[in-house]
């Protein structure tokens, strides 16, 4: 009778434990966790059978990330999967020995995470969905959907490690189209409410939401506010258009996190993170919420509908 129990305890004792850290909440990350688990499975690891996962959530409070990173490092996990650039920086500062695999929306070279996309070096690699490097295309699509909007608000999180770069790139993308950018900042719900008040007061006629995890966590709130104020809004991932945003353009974030899981599995089998090239997206999704367009009184040109990968009716 004791033999199976002893065997089970021995298996748990030898089972590798990996960390998973995200700047968002657990509730907002269910699809990402599913993608990560799927990726582990593609590398031969099944959670609870031959690998365990320790989850850490910052719930949008970026100042908590260093402590969460230190906690995972102190537990001597076998590898750490980390989502968002600000979280990846916190983990990189916390360890130079534990393998790190990131899933981010920015350029990891500009972020200082890796020296080279093909040969990252050190103890870190990952995948990117390049959310903030698609500003020019997102701005162009928003302009075609809302051609009468000459002042476009840009919503940014000043707590984001790439705040200044995002502000510069979004501003340049809009100015290249002859549009006037209005820079607004928010870190939380109160900040988003204040940003919308400022947007209305300064007569902005459209909104460009930057690729920040805090805004991904509050996608429903942003979509509802935009619709209630009659503001056409451009988002960076499909989930934001699904809940009522006018449009989104970007790579699949769950698929990026699936690649993170695959890399973690390969590292558990002995591969070195520094030898694994940073994965880059090969497909970008353009999603239009036609129901929201109609509610905003916008006529979507047939040429734009033909470009869309998905039309929500």
Reported in sequence order, the residue ranges of the chain that DSSP labels E, i.e. its strands, are: 17-22, 52-57, 79-83, 100-104, 124-128, 151-156, 180-185, 206-209, 233-235, 247-250, 285-289, 310-312
pLDDT of residue 153: 98
- DSSP letters, 204-229, are --EEEE-S-HHHHHTHHHHHHHHHHT
Boundaries of every domain in the chain: 2-130+252-275, 132-250+285-312
Architecture in CATH for domain 132-250+285-312: 3-Layer(aba) Sandwich (3.40)
Which numeric CATH code is attached to 2-130+252-275?
3.40.50.2300
Tokens 């031969």 correspond to 44
The predicted model scores a pTM of: 0.81
Beta bridge partners of 185: 156
pLDDT of residue 133: 67
| CA–CA gap between residue 178 and residue 86 (Å, rounded) | 32
Per-residue pLDDT for the chain (313 aa), expressed as one digit of tens each? 444 554 445 445 589 999 999 988 898 888 899 999 999 999 999 999 999 999 999 988 889 999 999 999 999 999 999 998 889 999 999 999 999 999 998 889 988 899 999 999 899 999 998 766 688 999 999 999 999 999 999 999 998 877 888 899 999 999 999 999 999 999 999 999 999 999 999 999 999 999 888 898 899 999 999 999 999 999 988 889 999 999 999 888 889 999 999 999 999 999 999 999 999 987 888 999 999 999 999 999 999 999 999 999 8
pLDDT of residue 5: 52
Reported in sequence order, the residue ranges of 120-190 that DSSP labels E, i.e. its strands, are: 124-128, 151-156, 180-185
Q: Do domains 2-130+252-275 and 132-250+285-312 have the same CATH topology?
A: yes
| CA–CA gap between residue 65 and residue 311 (Å, rounded) | 37
| CA–CA gap between residue 123 and residue 92 (Å, rounded) | 9
pLDDT of residue 2: 46
pLDDT of residue 12: 52
| CA–CA gap between residue 200 and residue 205 (Å, rounded) | 8
pLDDT of residue 131: 65
Token pair listed for 287:
């999603």
| CA–CA gap between residue 278 and residue 195 (Å, rounded) | 35
């Amino acid at each position: 009778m004791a033999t199976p129990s002893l065997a089970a305890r021995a298996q748990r004792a030898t089972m590798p434990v990996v960390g998973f850290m995200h700047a968002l909440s657990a509730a907002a990350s269910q699809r990402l966790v599913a993608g990560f688990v799927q990726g582990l499975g593609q590398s031969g690891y099944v959670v609870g059978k031959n690998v365990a996962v320790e989850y850490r959530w910052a719930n949008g409070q970026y100042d908590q990330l260093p402590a969460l990173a230190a906690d995972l490092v102190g537990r001597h996990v076998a590898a750490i999967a980390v989502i968002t650039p600000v979280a990846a920086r916190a983990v990189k500062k916390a360890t130079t020995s534990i393998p790190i695999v990131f899933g981010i929306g920015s350029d990891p070279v500009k972020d200082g995470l890796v020296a080279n996309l093909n040969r990252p070096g050190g103890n870190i690699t990952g995948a990117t969905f390049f959310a903030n490097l698609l500003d020019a295309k997102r701005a162009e699509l928003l302009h075609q959907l809302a051609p009468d909007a000459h002042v476009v608000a840009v919503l940014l999180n000043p707590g984001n490690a790439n705040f200044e770069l995002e502000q510069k790139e979004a501003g340049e993308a809009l100015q290249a189209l002859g549009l006037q950018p209005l820079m607004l900042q928010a870190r939380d719900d109160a900040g988003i409410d204040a940003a919308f008040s400022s947007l209305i007061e300064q007569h902005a006629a459209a909104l460009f939401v930057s690729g920040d995890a805090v805004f991904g966590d509050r996608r429903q709130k942003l979509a509802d506010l935009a619709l209630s104020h009659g503001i056409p809004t451009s988002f960076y991932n499909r989930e934001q258009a699904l809940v009522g945003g006018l449009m989104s353009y970007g790579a699949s974030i769950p698929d990026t996190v699936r690649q993170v899981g695959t890399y973690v599995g390969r590292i558990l089998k002995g591969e070195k993170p520094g030898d694994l090239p940073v994965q880059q997206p090969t497909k970008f999704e353009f999603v239009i919420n036609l129901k929201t367009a109609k509610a905003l009184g916008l006529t979507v040109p047939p040429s734009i509908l033909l470009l869309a990968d998905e039309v929500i009716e």
